Amino acid sequence: MSCSREIPLPKSVEIANGSVIHMFLQPDSNIVADCSKVVGILNPFEPESNAKIKIQINASPPFQLNNNSLGIYSNQMVKVKARDTVWVHYTSPTDSFDLTEIVPSNISFIKTDSLTEPVAGIGITQGFKIQFQDSAVDQNYYRIYAKRLIRKYTLDQNNNITDSLQYWETMKIDGNDLPFLRNNYNNYTEQEILFSDETFNGVLATFHFYNLLPNPNNKTEKTLSIIITLENLSKPLYDYYNSRAAHIWSQKSITQLPGPLTGNVPNGYGVIGAFTNCKWVIKYP
């Protein structure tokens, strides 16, 4: 007698057909749309090669994205700017919709500082402080993430360096400031911090966060530099990143079914979002 049986999934986890579109609008960058179709988990990836995507920025004449490769549509001649209103018209053999997205305001650091500090449960690690001016014109949504450039050393039996390897790694970060804590989705990820300006709209704001791992500089590993990125996100992109964090977390759980990602593609999946950003580079001797 078999000791296993099939358990049917509830209707809520069934995925309907629809377009899958990802478009991330950034000032001074090429406009690129990645388009595909919904397929079963055992089926191969299927790009959408028969779509037509028309873009209009503010009151300028509309233009079409070119299908340069399988499922990738782009235009290298026209760039968006901060505060632009972008209209997207999408058609395919099975779908059609119109969508409008506004590019957020530019963002920049006013003041930055790095420090070495003790953190309970971690030990001595790297801390970071950033200050920026929030715009009072809009409801703003932010994302912080950090990457470090690492040099790994190979040692011989006498602890002499025989070789080295250099690579970038996404850092695990966290912070206890109120805007960070008010977003419950930050509990699902250590790769980024997402927050809104609900508690500091229109003011000069300072935030502190830290590396979740001990400072790793030793004979076999050294941090050469760190890049801190702050992004000002459109609301659809903020919601998408939040749901992505929860989705990835639930994939690692043996008791949770991964939920769908929150997107703004009508009758489909994915996101058409916009963002601006600024970067802070810390170099170590």
Mean confidence (pLDDT) of the chain:
91
Return per-residue pLDDT of the chain as tens, 285 residues: 555 555 555 554 555 678 999 999 999 999 999 999 988 778 899 999 999 999 999 999 999 999 988 899 999 999 999 999 999 999 999 899 999 999 999 999 999 999 999 999 899 999 999 999 999 989 999 999 999 999 999 999 999 999 999 999 999 999 999 999 999 999 999 999 999 999 999 999 999 999 999 877 788 999 999 999 999 999 999 999 999 999 999 887 777 777 778 999 998 999 999 999 999 999 988
**How far apart are the C-alpha atoms of 214 and 124, rounded to whole Å?**
6
Count of beta carbons in the 10 Å neighbourhood of residue 189: 20
Sign of the Cα torsion 63, 68, 73, 76 reads: negative
Site of tokens 């996101």: 271
211 half-sphere exposure, CB direction, 13 A CA radius? 24
Amino acid at 204: L
**How far apart are the C-alpha atoms of 24 and 37, rounded to whole Å?**
18
221-279 pLDDT, tens digit per residue, is 999 999 999 999 999 999 999 999 999 998 877 777 777 789 999 989 999 999 999 99
**How far apart are the C-alpha atoms of 243 and 252, rounded to whole Å?**
15
Q: Which of 266, 201, 275, 268 is nearest to 237 (CA)?
A: 275
How distant, in Å, are the alpha carbons of 34, 92, 190, 241 from that of 174? 31, 42, 7, 16
Q: Which of 118, 121, 116, 130 is nearest to 223 (CA)?
A: 116
